[in-house]
Amino acid sequence: MNRSTATLSAAAPRAWRLPALLLMLAAWLGYHTLSARLPVAQWAGALLPHADATLPQLVVRYGWLPRFAIALIAGAALSLAGVVFQQVLRNPLAEPLTLGVSAGAYLALTIAAVVAPALAADLRFTVALAGAALAMLAAMAMTWRKGFAAVSIVLAGMIVNLYCGALSVILTIVFERSLTSVFIWGGGSLVQNGWAGVLWLLPRVLACGFATALLVRPLTLFSLDDGSASQLGMSLKWTRLVALAVAVTLSAFVTSAVGVIGFIGLGGPVLARLMGARRVRDQLLWAPLVGALLLAIADQAVQSLPGVLGELLPTGAAVALCGGPLLLWMLRRVHIEAPRPAAADAAPPRRALTMPALLLGALLVAGTVVSLGFSMTLHGWQWTDAQQWSDVWFWRVPRLVASLGAGVMVALAGTILQRVTGNPMASPDLLGVSGGAMLGMLAAALLAAAPSTPVLLAGSSAGALTCLVTIVALGRRSSFAPEHVLLAGIAISAFSQAVVMLATASGGAYANLLRPLQYGSTYLIVPATAIAVSVCAVLAVSIAYLGARWLEILPLGANVANALGVSAQRARLTLLVVAAVLTAGATVVIGPMSFVGLMAPHLARLLGFPRARSQMLVAALIGGLLMVLSDWLGRNMIFPQQMPAGVIATLLGGPYLMWLLRR
């Protein structure tokens, strides 16, 4: 320990300043909150167990102190897990939240609370742990064939994260009233009422820390590239597996004890590295220390907030609010050396456009007719006759048109993004524009006393635009390198999901209103909106056609593009703006996460349409068809309860995405 401290200070003479500053801040805040609860003269009585302690002393002994302790332990554990994840996956953005572990645990608890409420109360730790482990296993299963390649595992984790989050929200739409305690837990509350939580968590974290200490040498070798590490006699696959298992267990323990607390696993290691801890063993030592102090500071700061905020805001929420910007700031500075993912597959044979396009068009028409005519009613399944039609058209046509238009727009946006970034995984939801639109809508709903459709629409557009500007600003620094744009988007998506989760986790009347917004406003579509959406969709098709040449050239690379007289940077920027506007329009209708923008272009390519123009046309048809189908299923699946079309599209799209990653 002394040696590493010495080398650390030798490497960076001012390294002690940051932890000292954090320590002072934590101590000052702690003094502040503690003295508000108990006069300094009585502190000794609270610390030392004796029988006749006064009530404030007991509150400190069983409330304040264990809360402080568990903040330190959880912060240290999350940071330690973050270091291991980042080292093994060679990705500075890996941490429990971005790998889907927290979301898995949250989903497991939500399911348990619905299926067996008694079980959920007694076995909370076990249930959450099982969910976290399953989520990580899912992410790992998806990347098994690629030998757990660093980029794909983070991508897989993020997708598990988004999908688990989506499933949780679906459950909460249907079962909201039985899930109050799950919401609180999901918000990352550090409140304690005794030492049981600390005594449960501490030995488990220590055991994991010990296991990590045993892994220091193999972990160090991960600083080399795979080839060199293998030559030094290391089995990469198994070392990675063991190290990941330790880190997952560690983060699952924390998640099950105190709930979803993101970004500490990101912040701790980053600050440790800024302090000058370059070697793995230094990071393993310093990052937990910094992380512990960070979480303690955040928790004390929350406790000293005045009034309602201090009492209602879960610490996890406060941390997440600082964490999103931190993630984006890191993206600006961190250079991510990601191998460009290979194109999905060798180009399948090209086909003549006419027949399949006609066939798809016919399918779309058939789907529309079935969706409008055949539906569940109070008297069971029925074909709607002409007389009933005059009653029901108002409720079916606008939302069908809007869903169709949104499907077309999001499919086009996906095609454009995949071609511009040269990344087969790109799509509007992974770009983060949908997340930004969602955040804007949330802000509008919170600020307006009685949120109406136009207000929500305006908020959503503003959010998408803000998000776009952020991404463009970030992308400009790296000349819109595909990886940077995509990771910035994923960061924003995760941030928006965290914020939404926390906004709804705080409970109360707002939560009931906000939760449904996440899946779009198919309920609130009036003819005017439907017309606006379809006009936008038609315009989108025309614009995309004008950009087809750019889309053909850009995937060949910037040099080729410039040689052909196309300014690569300007073309990219223009196309990104188009894609973002399309996404904003679609998000208002079908919500942030549909995966249609990912699926439609892929299916078009698999059907044999690799050229930009034909791929866009076929993708638009497929996107529309998928959304028409989703809208129909959403209206009839669990009648009379209606699921928004975006939810069904997510349910359909998620498994496809996971299958895609596995290949």
Partner 1 sequence: MKTGARFSGKRRLALAGLGAATLTAAGAALARAAADGFASMSVAGRAEGAGRKPPTRVVVLDWPLTEVVLSLGVVPVGVSRPAWYARLDGVPPLPPSVVDTGLLYQPNFEVLAALEPEFIVITPWHAPLRGLLERIAPTLTVPLFGPGVDAYPAVRAATRELAGALGRHAAADALFAQADAKLADARMRLAGFRATRRPVYLLRPIDDRHIAVFGRNSLFGGVLHALGIENAWQGAADPQGMSEADLGALAKRADAQAVAIGVAPGVAAQLARSPLWGALPFVRRNRVQHIDPLPALGGVVASMRCADSLAKALEGVST
Residues 501-530 touching partner 1, rule: CB under 8 A, are 507-510, 512-513, 516, 521, 523-524, 526, 528-529
Burial 260-289 (b: 16+ CB within 10 A, else e): bbbbbbbbbbbbbbebbbebbbbbbbbbbb
Choose which of 535, 557, 560, 606 interacts with partner 1 (CB under 8 A): 535
Q: According to the binding rule CB under 8 A, does residue 378 interact with partner 1? A: yes
CA separation for the pair 308, 300 (Å, rounded): 15
Q: According to the binding rule CB under 8 A, does residue 322 interact with partner 1? A: no
Enumerate helices (H) and strands (E) in the chain, giving the number of each: 32, 2
Site stretch for partner 1 (CB under 8 A), options 205-213, 345-353, 452-460, 495-503:
452-460
Q: How far is the CB of 319 from partner 1 (least distance, A)?
A: 18
Choose which of 228, 235, 304, 641 interacts with partner 1 (CB under 8 A): 641
Mask for 248-287, x = binds partner 1 (CB under 8 A): ----------------------------------------
Choose which of 171, 397, 531, 573 interacts with partner 1 (CB under 8 A): 531
Cα angle 291, 297, 299 (rounded to 5 degrees) comes to 105
Torsion of CA 265, 501, 63, 67, to 10 degrees: 0
Q: How far is the CB of 394 from partner 1 (least distance, A)?
A: 7
Q: Is the Cβ of residue 4 or residue 512 nearer to partner 1 in the bound state?
A: 512
Q: Is the Cβ of residue 55 or residue 342 nearer to partner 1 in the bound state?
A: 55
CA dihedral sign of residues 237, 238, 243, 245: positive
Q: How far is the CB of 6 from partner 1 (least distance, A)?
A: 43
H or E element in which residue 19 lies = helix 17-37
CA dihedral sign of residues 375, 380, 383, 385: negative
Q: Is the Cβ of residue 265 or residue 520 nearer to partner 1 in the bound state?
A: 520
Orientation angle between helical segments 150-175 and 508-517, nearest 10 degrees: 120
Q: Is the Cβ of residue 124 or residue 204 nearer to partner 1 in the bound state?
A: 124
The letter for the amino acid at 513 is: L
Choose which of 52, 349, 391, 559 interacts with partner 1 (CB under 8 A): 391
3-state secondary structure of 204: helix
CA separation for the pair 587, 603 (Å, rounded): 21
For residues 58-97, which are near partner 1 according to CB under 8 A? 58-59, 62-64
DSSP state, residue 346: S
Mask for 156-195, x = binds partner 1 (CB under 8 A): -----------------xx-xx--xx--xx---x-xxxxx
Q: How far is the CB of 535 from partner 1 (least distance, A)?
A: 4
Q: Is the Cβ of residue 349 or residue 640 nearer to partner 1 in the bound state?
A: 640
Cis peptide before 640 (omega within 30 of 0): yes
Q: According to the binding rule CB under 8 A, does residue 644 interact with partner 1? A: yes
CA separation for the pair 33, 27 (Å, rounded): 10
CA separation for the pair 83, 284 (Å, rounded): 7
Site stretch for partner 1 (CB under 8 A), options 56-64, 94-102, 273-281, 329-337:
56-64
142 burial via Cβ count (<10 Å: 0-12, 13-18, 19+): buried
Q: How far is the CB of 203 from partner 1 (least distance, A)?
A: 19
Q: According to the binding rule CB under 8 A, does residue 450 interact with partner 1? A: yes
Q: According to the binding rule CB under 8 A, does residue 458 interact with partner 1? A: yes
For residues 121-150, which are near partner 1 according to CB under 8 A? 121-122
Residue pair 91/154 in contact by the 8 Å Cβ criterion: yes
Q: According to the binding rule CB under 8 A, does residue 574 interact with partner 1? A: yes
The letter for the amino acid at 179 is: L
Site stretch for partner 1 (CB under 8 A), options 88-96, 118-126, 157-165, 493-501:
118-126
Q: Is the Cβ of residue 447 or residue 606 nearer to partner 1 in the bound state?
A: 447
Choose which of 394, 469, 477, 562 interacts with partner 1 (CB under 8 A): 394
Q: How far is the CB of 643 from partner 1 (least distance, A)?
A: 9
Choose which of 357, 466, 642, 662 interacts with partner 1 (CB under 8 A): 642
Q: According to the binding rule CB under 8 A, does residue 23 interact with partner 1? A: no
Residue pair 521/589 in contact by the 8 Å Cβ criterion: yes
CA separation for the pair 280, 85 (Å, rounded): 12
H or E element in which residue 246 lies = helix 236-258
Mask for 226-245, x = binds partner 1 (CB under 8 A): --------------------
3-state secondary structure of 495: helix
Residue among 621, 586, 615, 587 nearest 602 (CA): 615
Q: Is the Cβ of residue 323 or residue 644 nearer to partner 1 in the bound state?
A: 644
Measured CA to CA in angstroms, residue 449 lies from 445, 455, 510, 514 at distances of: 8, 11, 11, 13
H or E element in which residue 375 lies = strand 374-377
For residue 413, give both structure tokens. 């946006």
Q: According to the binding rule CB under 8 A, does residue 569 interact with partner 1? A: no
Backbone angles phi, psi at 262, to 5 degrees: -95, 165
Residue pair 240/230 in contact by the 8 Å Cβ criterion: no
Q: How far is the CB of 513 from partner 1 (least distance, A)?
A: 5
For residues 288-317, which are near partner 1 according to CB under 8 A? 307-308, 311-312
Site stretch for partner 1 (CB under 8 A), options 412-420, 455-463, 603-611, 621-629:
455-463
Q: According to the binding rule CB under 8 A, does residue 361 interact with partner 1? A: no
Q: According to the binding rule CB under 8 A, does residue 370 interact with partner 1? A: no
Residue pair 419/551 in contact by the 8 Å Cβ criterion: yes
Site stretch for partner 1 (CB under 8 A), options 8-16, 28-36, 355-363, 634-642:
634-642
Q: Is the Cβ of residue 99 or residue 561 nearer to partner 1 in the bound state?
A: 561
Choose which of 40, 41, 55, 342 interacts with partner 1 (CB under 8 A): 55
Q: How far is the CB of 641 from partner 1 (least distance, A)?
A: 5
CA separation for the pair 624, 363 (Å, rounded): 10
Q: How far is the CB of 346 from partner 1 (least distance, A)?
A: 31
Q: According to the binding rule CB under 8 A, does residue 640 interact with partner 1? A: yes
Residues 6+ apart with CB under 8 A from 167: 107
